[in-house]
Chain A
Amino acid sequence: DIQMTQSPSSLSASVGDRVTITCRASQSIGSSLNWYQQKPGKAPNLLIYGISRLQSGVPSRVSGSGSGTDFTLTISSLQPEDFATYYCQQTFSTPFTFGPGTKVDIK
Chain B
Amino acid sequence: QVQLQESGPGLVKPSETLSLTCTVSGGSISDYYWSWIRQPPGKGLEWIGYIYYSGTTNYNPSLKSRVTISVDTSKNQFSLKLTSVTAADTAVYYCGRQDDILMFLDYWGQGTLVTVSS
Contact = CB atoms under 8 A, between A and B. Distances in A.
Interface of A: 1, 31-32, 34, 36, 42-46, 49-50, 55, 87, 89, 91, 94-101
A101 B108 contact: no
Q: When A and B form their complex, which 7 residue pairs have the shortest distance between CB atoms, in order from nearest?
A: A91-B103, A43-B108, A49-B104, A95-B60, A98-B45, A34-B104, A96-B47
Contacts, number: 56
Nearest to A96: B47
A91 to B, nearest CB: 4
B14 interface: no
A32 B106 contact: no
A50 B102 CA distance: 7
B16 interface: no
Contacts of A87: 44-45
A97 B99 CA distance: 16
